[in-house]
């Protein structure tokens, strides 16, 4: 034990010294924005709505890099007026951002172009999301052996019924909403007509936004873009140029020459988006005493404290109460990026938001997702903004309970119960679900669904019947949600901030982010190389695709209580 303790202390001291050395080296490498610079936008690092600032030196060393969405938008806004920035070069390969996030960034780059500065794009090849973002450029280039992956959108679902029947392991399902298909995979071996209808609807809605935006930027008709997708006319650099998806197929050194010419210099200076943000350009400076709080709710809703990866009532409620007490905070924007989750968590947060709204204007900004429980906490806001491609709605409820009775019977195991009362034993995973237990849980699901409808009806000024007509667990895009009254306006976080300022009567303001998370000792060391996370270990062993299946099963196993969760994890490709 003494040896182990000594080794552990030695490791800790070694890394503390290493942190100090690296920190001192970083201070010496001061970031400078030189004259005639080009802002290089590469979004291979994860784009998140909220990346809490940490004063933990170990995080700086080992945490994965990620961008906060508002910092990207602010950096592009600052670059628009920065005399040292001559233009933007979009140089992505794989884009690690959601579709709605890309749409927001794309619109901000269009605003940047209004300054008269240039925007160009280059890649070895273009994925569909990368091309959507890059199509905003004045000119788009690819390496000669590259291509544009432009084929339309699709989504895939797995169905487990035959597997359950074969092995005797199943999920007992209780739900309300004909579109609430989160659990459909456990009930059938094929997609229902209702589910196919809603997936087709929102995919077509998102695709139409893609086509309209690309059509406007590239001057290609929507019908021709569909023809290009149907016949894969971007599958080579030659075809991509011929069909006007791209401007030319050139090598990187030739692209650098073009950048030099556009900047009017012999050798252009590039500054990465990451460095530009670190330089201080990731925020809009203001000396105003008036503040608008941006309250971030991102991730699945689970019962508990919560952090920047999942929504728990603990941290959110604590933040709401702090916001309410701060007299300098005049309005609040709730930024939601969540598929929902535990209904109890959503209701507890919803209650605190209702109390906050009595004192300060409350505006919602929806990110990539604001569905089910994510919509629950958004419904009562004074105003709701969503991007056209935001996934929202999914107003429905379900519960799932594992059952192994088929398996244990097949392998010769019998479970017996002893109880003092009729309902004492409750539910056993080793026995078939009784009608009494099903009825009890069904009553709970119906109760939560009724409460959900009432929250939506009250918040959106509808009757319960009107809310029910657009509920039933159905998923909508922001564009569709505007038409049926689930959102008020289309727009991003900046639009929501302007809306909140108007409601509060503010001419100038600055923003402040919540919640504020404090990490304990375990969190501080979880990113150490010798303390590799279980997630990374599983990914390395299973591979990304198999890990995603494992992760979905694990996610459902943690969903205790009745769920207000989006129908499924949408993976559009």
The CB density around residue 438, as the number of other CB atoms within 10 Å, is: 15
pLDDT digits (tens, 9 = 90+) for 315-370: 999 999 999 999 999 999 999 999 999 999 999 999 999 999 999 999 999 999 99
Contact predicate 76/110, CB 8 Å = no
**Angle formed by the axes of helices 69-81 and 99-113, to 10°?**
10
∠ CA 470-475-481, rounded to 5°: 60
Quickly count: other Cβ atoms within 10 Å of residue 22's Cβ. 13
Neighbours of 188 (CB within 10 A): 14
Domains of the chain listed by start with CATH number: 31-151+232-281 (3.90.226.10), 291-517+531-564 (3.90.226.10)
- Assigned token pair, 234: 């971007």
On whether the CB atoms of residues 297 and 381 are closer than 8 A, the answer is no
Q: Which of 48, 80, 180, 330 is catalytic?
A: 180
Q: How far apart are CA 106 and CA 110, in angstroms?
A: 6
Q: pTM for this structure?
A: 0.83
- Average pLDDT per consecutive 10 residues, the chain (573 residues; last block may be shorter): 68 60 52 92 93 62 74 96 96 91 96 96 96 97 96 89 87 74 80 88 95 97 97 96 97 96 93 94 91 96 92 96 97 96 94 97 96 95 97 88 87 85 79 87 90 95 95 93 96 96 96 82 48 56 57 57 59 58
- Give the integer Cα–Cα distance in Å for 428 and 421: 15
The reply to whether 190 belongs to the active site is no
CA dist 41 and 20 (Å) reads: 30
Q: What is the CA radius of gyration of the chain?
A: 26
Output the six-digit token pair for 174.
């209780």
Pairs from 55-58 (Cβ < 8 Å, separation ≥ 24): 56/519, 56/524, 57/19, 57/20, 57/23, 58/15, 58/19, 58/524, 58/525, 58/527, 58/528
Burial class (CB in 10 A: 0-12, 13-18, 19+), 398: buried
Residue 515 Cα distances to 76, 298, 318, angstroms: 25, 11, 8
Contact 332, 297 (CB under 8 A): no
Three-class SS of residue 329?
Answer: strand
Measured between alpha carbons, how far is 102 from 474 in angstroms, rounded to an integer? 24
The alpha carbon dihedral of 54, 554, 570, 458 has a sign of: negative
- The stretches of 358-477 forming alpha helices (DSSP H) are 373-376, 405-410, 435-460, 464-469
Smallest CA-to-CA distance from 560 within 361, 303, 250 is with: 303
Catalytic residue among 372, 383, 405, 479: 372
In angstroms, rounded to a whole number, what is the distance separating the alpha carbons of residues 471 and 451? Answer: 13
Is 242 in the active site? Answer: no
Q: What's the CA gap between 452 and 442, in Å, rounded? A: 15
Q: How far is CA 385 from CA 242, 389, 482, 570, in A?
A: 39, 12, 9, 21
Strand 170-176 and strand 397-403: pairing? Answer: antiparallel
pLDDT at 548: 58
- What pLDDT sits at residue 509? 95
**Which pLDDT belongs to residue 427?**
83
Paired tokens of 322: 């702090």
The residue behind tokens 């456990």 is 186
In 450-553, which ranges are E strands?
475-477, 489-490, 510-514
pLDDT digits (tens, 9 = 90+) for 5-17: 667 676 666 665 5
Encode burial over 86-118: b for 16+ CB neighbours within 10 A, e otherwise: bbbbbbbeebebbbbbbbbbbbbbeebbeeebb
């Amino acid at each position: 034990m003494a040896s182990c303790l000594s080794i552990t202390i030695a490791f800790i001291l070694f890394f503390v010294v290493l942190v100090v050395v690296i920190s001192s080296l970083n201070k010496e490498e001061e970031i400078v924005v030189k004259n005639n610079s080009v802002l290089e936008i590469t979004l291979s690092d994860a784009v998140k709505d909220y990346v809490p600032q940490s004063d933990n030196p170990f995080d700086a060393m080992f945490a994965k890099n990620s961008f906060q969405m508002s910092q990207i938008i602010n950096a592009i806004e600052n670059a628009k007026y920065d005399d040292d920035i001559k233009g933007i070069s979009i140089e992505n390969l794989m884009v690690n951002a959601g579709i709605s996030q890309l749409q927001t960034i794309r619109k901000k780059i269009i605003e940047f172009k209004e300054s008269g500065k240039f925007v160009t794009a280059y890649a070895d090849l273009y994925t569909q999301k990368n091309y959507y973002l890059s199509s905003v450029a004045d000119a788009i280039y690819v390496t000669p052996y590259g291509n544009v992956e432009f084929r339309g959108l699709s989504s895939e679902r797995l169905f487990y019924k035959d597997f359950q029947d074969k092995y005797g392991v199943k999920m007992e399902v209780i739900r309300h909403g004909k579109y609430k298909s989160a659990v459909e995979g456990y009930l059938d071996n094929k997609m229902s007509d209702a589910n196919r209808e809603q997936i087709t609807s929102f995919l077509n809605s998102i695709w139409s936004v893609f086509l309209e935006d690309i059509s406007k930027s590239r001057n290609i008709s929507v019908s021709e873009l569909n023809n290009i997708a149907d016949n894969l006319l971007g599958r080579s650099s030659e075809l991509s140029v011929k069909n006007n998806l791209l401007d030319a197929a050139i090598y990187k050194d030739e692209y650098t020459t073009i950048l030099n010419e556009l900047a009017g210099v012999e050798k252009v200076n590039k500054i990465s988006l990451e460095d530009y943000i670190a330089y201080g350009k990731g925020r809009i400076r203001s000396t105003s005493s008036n503040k608008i709080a941006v309250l971030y709710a991102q991730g699945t809703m689970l019962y508990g404290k919560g952090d920047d990866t999942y929504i728990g009532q603990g941290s959110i409620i604590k933040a709401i109460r702090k916001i309410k007490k701060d007299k300098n905070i005049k309005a609040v924007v709730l930024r939601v990026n969540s598929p929902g989750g535990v209904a109890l968590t959503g209701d507890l947060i919803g209650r605190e938001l209702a109390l906050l709204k009595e004192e300060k204007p409350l505006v919602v900004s929806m990110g990539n997702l604001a569905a089910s429980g994510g919509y629950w906490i958004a419904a009562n806001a004074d105003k709701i903004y969503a991007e056209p491609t935001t996934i929202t709605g999914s107003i429905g409820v379900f519960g799932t309970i594992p059952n192994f009775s088929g398996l244990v019977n097949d392998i010769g195991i019998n479970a017996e119960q002893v109880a003092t009362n009729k309902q004492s034993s409750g539910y056993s995973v080793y026995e078939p679900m009784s009608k009494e237990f099903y009825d009890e849980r069904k009553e709970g699901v119906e109760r939560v669904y009724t409460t959900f409808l009432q929250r939506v009806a009250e918040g959106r000024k509808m009757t319960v019947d009107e809310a029910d007509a657009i509920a039933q667990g159905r998923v909508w895009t922001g564009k569709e949600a505007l038409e049926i009254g689930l959102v008020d306006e289309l727009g991003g976080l900046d639009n929501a901030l302007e809306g909140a300022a108007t409601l509060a009567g503010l001419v100038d303001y600055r923003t402040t982010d919540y919640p504020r998370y404090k990490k304990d000792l375990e969190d501080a060391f979880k990113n150490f190389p010798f303390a590799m996370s279980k997630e990374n270990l599983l990914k390395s062993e299973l591979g990304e695709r198999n890990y995603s299946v494992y992760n979905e099963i694990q996610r459902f196993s943690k969903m205790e209580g009745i769920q207000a969760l989006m129908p499924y994890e949408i993976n559009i490709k």
